[in-house]
């Protein structure tokens, strides 16, 4: 996806002339940050200008203009062509949302393209006039992007979040992965890892048992206990995915680069305040994580405070609080004192 472009793509090695880019009302181009994909395609992303008049396009950091080798991108990643209704006025009635991935990663139940997103994407490629179906094409790609061609050229577009009101069908079996014996429609590897840990933690630290996977909701996966209560597994699954259950894996020098300086912090045998299974005010400790916390103090001339933190992730069942089986995932944080500027 375009949000991952800086970290996963290669730099482009020539200057970009603005004259080779389409003129989009209310938008500019990051001409100093073009990128080359592994397939050889080069593209440049857009940014919103501070003006009241903007074309209704997919959104900042959500689309890029293809500078070179569009065919290579489509050959490397294209999966299926999306059928586009003849006229904009028919989009809502004739277009059924297309799913790229079933996932709760954007607080919905999938990412893909619905009628509203399709209109913004087509207008990006075609401008304000009528749709030229001789030049227009929209393709779903295997890297969770859309590839669009039109009168303005070729674009790579991030799909949108699909929620219940635009997507009411059941995920197919092909979209489900095995999560400790449950078939769960979740494409994101981090959420998969968190869900696997959640199932084990829930079984170990509650009096209930997960009996079946029930459904995917907006921003959550819904399980059901053996007594018929719903259990919502949502955004906290990311925390469970990032943590480690073996504190010794964090015993090393941790570094952080800031303003041309490298800072370091040592997590050693004396660092840990809590062990796995300890009871805290947030519940039982189920994992550990190291984190850097940078705080800016605007009123003090831009000075900052950089903290090295030991995070103890805790799980607390709260079955009596609501009509469904509730729980809390939070971290008890401690500051690591072994902290120094390496330079």
User: How many whole angstroms separate alpha carbon 94 and alpha carbon 92?
Assistant: 6
pLDDT tens-digit series, residues 277-287:
999 999 999 99
pLDDT attached to residue 271:
92
Query: Is the pLDDT score of 269 beyond 50?
Result: yes
DSSP symbol at 203:
H
Query: Is the pLDDT score of 10 beyond 70?
Result: no
Tell me how far CA of residue 206 lies from CA of 38, 209, 314, in angstroms. Answer: 47, 8, 13
pTM of the model: 0.86
Q: What value, to the nearest 5°, has the Cα angle with vertex 22 and ends 17 and 25?
A: 120
Tell me how far CA of residue 314 lies from CA of 74, 203, 244, 331, 343, in angstroms. Answer: 45, 15, 12, 6, 36
Query: Is the pLDDT score of 177 beyond 60?
Result: yes
Long-range contacts of residues 243-247, Cβ cutoff 8 Å, at least 24 apart: 243/286, 243/287, 243/288, 243/289, 243/311, 243/313, 244/287, 244/288, 244/289, 245/197, 245/276, 245/286, 245/287, 245/288, 246/288, 247/272, 247/275, 247/276, 247/288
**HSE (side-chain half, CA atoms, 13 Å) at 102:** 21
Give the contacts of 152 (CB within 8 A, at least 6 positions apart): 22, 124, 125, 126, 127
- Please compute the mean of the pLDDT values over residues 83-100 and round it to a whole number: 95
**9-13, 119-123, 287-291: segment of lowest average pLDDT:** 9-13
User: Which residues on adjacent β-strands are paired with residue 155?
Assistant: 65, 148
pLDDT tens-digit series, residues 59-80:
877 999 999 999 999 999 999 9
The larger pLDDT score, comparing residue 31 to residue 141, is at: 141
């Amino acid at each position: 996806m375009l949000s991952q472009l800086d970290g996963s793509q290669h730099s482009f090695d020539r200057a970009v002339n603005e004259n080779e880019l389409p003129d989009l009302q209310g938008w500019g181009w990051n001409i100093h940050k073009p990128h080359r994909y592994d397939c050889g395609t080069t593209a440049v992303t857009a940014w919103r200008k501070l003006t009241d008049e903007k074309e209704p396009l997919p959104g900042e950091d959500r689309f890029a203009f293809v500078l070179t080798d569009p065919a290579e991108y489509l050959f490397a990643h294209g999966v299926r062509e999306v059928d586009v209704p003849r006229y904009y006025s028919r989009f809502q009635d004739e277009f059924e949302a297309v799913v790229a991935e079933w996932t709760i990663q954007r607080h919905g139940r999938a990412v893909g393209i619905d009628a509203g997103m399709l209109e913004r994407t087509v207008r990006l490629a075609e401008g304000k006039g009528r749709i030229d179906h001789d030049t227009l094409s929209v393709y779903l790609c295997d890297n969770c992007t859309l590839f669009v061609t039109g009168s303005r050229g070729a674009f790579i577009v991030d799909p949108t979040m699909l929620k219940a009101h635009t997507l009411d069908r059941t995920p197919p079996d092909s979209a489900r992965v095995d999560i400790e014996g449950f078939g769960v429609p979740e494409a994101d590897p981090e959420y998969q890892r968190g869900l696997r840990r959640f199932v084990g933690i829930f079984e170990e630290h509650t009096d209930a048992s997960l009996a079946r996977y029930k459904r995917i909701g907006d921003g959550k996966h819904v399980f059901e206990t053996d007594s018929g209560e719903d259990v919502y597994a949502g955004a906290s699954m990311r925390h469970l995915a990032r943590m480690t259950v073996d504190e010794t894996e964090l015993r090393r020098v941790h570094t952080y680069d800031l303003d041309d300086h490298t800072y370091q912090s040592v997590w050693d045998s004396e660092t840990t305040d809590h062990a796995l299974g300890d009871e805290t005010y947030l519940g039982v400790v189920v994992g550990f994580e190291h984190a850097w916390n940078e705080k800016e103090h605007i009123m003090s001339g831009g000075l900052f405070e950089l903290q090295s933190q030991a995070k103890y992730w805790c799980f607390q069942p709260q079955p009596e609080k609501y009509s469904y089986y509730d729980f809390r995932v939070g971290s008890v944080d401690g500051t690591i004192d072994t902290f120094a500027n390496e330079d």
